[in-house]
Amino acid sequence: MKKLLLILITIASINITSAQDGAFQDGEWFKFKMSYSNFFKAGNATLSLKEKELDGKSVFHVVGKGWTTGMAKWFFKVKDRYESYFDTDKIIPYKFIRDIDEGGHKKNIEIDFDHDKNTALVHNKRHNSKKTINTKPNVQDMVSLFYHLRNKLDVSNLKAGGEIKLDMFFDEENYGFKLKYLGEETISTEFGKIEALKFRPYVMAGRVFKEEESLTLWVSKDKNKVPLRIKADLAVGSLRADLEAFKGLRHPFKIVVDN
């Protein structure tokens, strides 16, 4: 269950379009159910999006929450909250918040991005410390990264096996993120059969993930690019997240009808 939301939203992106013509809108909401080793329900996660103003700028404010339920919380209690404020047109982050409690491992970090100076001001609230770190141009945080993908993803010129790269800033470090496109697949979901695009992000092998290619994810092939499913092979067991409920989609949600 550790890294609950990180597994959900660690994805990359491609081309450039305007958010106003894109994949999501004010009021969108997702709920996911998490299961461990395909055996028992381990927790839930939600993502909600609202349009707001931040320091006079029009932004989308996303709140991601993750928590363990039932038997899982007796073994490893998780209560995570992630927030991102990103520009409605450029889809670049201005502020990122990570407030987590994962089995007693706690962090409370707030990051302010200055894209003119390519810097990030990192405020570690638990240690009452601040530092400024240089970033890459147009760097993403781990939440804005997900929406950047959905809004700007175009695989029309990408063959199976092709890779997408993007710069991400997490906690106090710059990351060069890489994503492999695996092609199309129709999968069975809570809502029926859905045509999906399949990806494999490269993750850091070690304590959490079994190997670099331990993560597989599916997003709907329609204009919404809805996250449908994530599977992760962990150092111990496996974790699966499935979309359980949604509302506020910008475009019609396409379900395959069998003849």
Question: 27 near 50, Cβ under 8 Å?
Answer: yes
Residue 157's nearest CA partner among 179, 176, 181, 178 is 181
**Lowest mean pLDDT, pick from 16-30, 66-80, 240-254:** 16-30
- The rounded distance, in Å, linking the Cα atoms of 259 and 255 is 13
**Residue 72 tokens, joined:** 């899982």
**Model confidence at 171: pLDDT above 90:** no
What integer is the mean pLDDT of 118-135? 96
Residue 163's nearest CA partner among 118, 208, 212, 211 is 212
Q: How confident is the model at residue 8 (pLDDT cuts 50, 70, 90)?
A: low
On the 0-12 / 13-18 / 19+ scale of CB atoms within 10 A, 56 is exposed
Strand pairing partners for 34?
43, 241
What integer is the mean pLDDT of 67-77? 77
Query: Where do we find the tokens 């809805």?
Result: 226
**Model confidence at 49: pLDDT above 90:** yes
**Model confidence at 39: pLDDT above 70:** no
**Model confidence at 209: pLDDT above 50:** no
What integer is the mean pLDDT of 43-51? 96
What integer is the mean pLDDT of 38-50? 88
Q: How confident is the model at residue 236 (pLDDT cuts 50, 70, 90)?
A: low
Question: 12 near 145, Cβ under 8 Å?
Answer: yes
Q: pTM of the predicted model, to two decimals?
A: 0.85
**Model confidence at 125: pLDDT above 90:** yes
**Residue 256 tokens, joined:** 């395959």
**Model confidence at 199: pLDDT above 80:** yes
**Model confidence at 216: pLDDT above 70:** yes
**Model confidence at 163: pLDDT above 90:** no
What local confidence, expressed as pLDDT, does residue 211 receive?
A: 43
On the 0-12 / 13-18 / 19+ scale of CB atoms within 10 A, 62 is buried
- The rounded distance, in Å, linking the Cα atoms of 150 and 11 is 9
Q: Phi and psi dihedrals of 9, rounded to 5?
A: -125, 20
Looking at the chain, the whole-number percentage of residues with pLDDT higher than 90 is: 56
Question: 99 near 27, Cβ under 8 Å?
Answer: no
What integer is the mean pLDDT of 158-187? 89
Looking at the chain, the whole-number percentage of residues with pLDDT higher than 70 is: 83
Chain-wide mean pLDDT for the chain? 84
Find out if CATH 3.40.50 is the number for domain 4-247: no
Q: How confident is the model at residue 1 (pLDDT cuts 50, 70, 90)?
A: very low
More confident residue, 195 or 214: 195
Strand pairing partners for 98?
82, 109
What local confidence, expressed as pLDDT, does residue 51 receive?
A: 97
Question: 248 near 62, Cβ under 8 Å?
Answer: no
SS3 169: strand
Question: Which amino acid makes up residue 123?
Answer: H
